[in-house]
Amino acid sequence: MCHTSDDVVTRVLHLDLRPGGAYRIEAQAPGQPLYRLAGVYAEVAPPRKLVFTWRWETHREHGESVVTAEFFERGPGFTEVMIKHEAFPTAEACAGHQQGWTLCLNQLETLVAAKEGR
């Protein structure tokens, strides 16, 4: 799912943030279909690393992939976030997720900047 709108409504349906714990999320943009995804946390190492599986319930053809999020402190008030999403069944699925993560991280940057008054 890739939308450039800030109107996407995301709901966390289940969240058990521990190794072996599961999560389930749904998201929907106005006039668009509902998307659901779920997965299991493989590694939870705050504040450095989070690894989890990613499986679209609404796009089963994409199979299950793996996300690794790493956080690096780069000085007071600055954290670098690195996302590695891998094990896609097709190049198309990979490209779509790259667009989605780029949008999400850009929105995160905008929210943080607004909160800090930048």
Query: What are the tens digits of pLDDT across the range 83-112?
Result: 999 988 888 888 888 888 888 888 888 888
Question: By percentage, how much of the chain surpasses pLDDT 90?
Answer: 46
- For residue 34, report the phi and psi dihedrals to the nearest 5 degrees: -80, 135
CATH of the domain at 57: 3.30.530.20
Residue 100 lies in a domain: yes
Residue 26 lies in a domain: yes
List strand residue ranges (DSSP E) for 1-118, in order: 9-15, 22-28, 35-45, 49-56, 64-73, 79-86
Per the structure block, which two tokens stand in for 99? Answer: 């667009």
Lookup result for tokens 């299950």: 64
Q: How confident is the model at residue 117 (pLDDT cuts 50, 70, 90)?
A: confident
Residue 3 lies in a domain: no
Residue 2 lies in a domain: no
Residue 4 lies in a domain: no
pTM over 0.75: yes
Domain limits for position 91: 9-116
* Number of domains composing the chain: 1
Residue 67 lies in a domain: yes
Residue 45 lies in a domain: yes
Highest mean pLDDT among 27-36, 41-50, 106-115: 41-50
Residue 1 lies in a domain: no
- CA–chain centroid gap for 40, Å, is 13
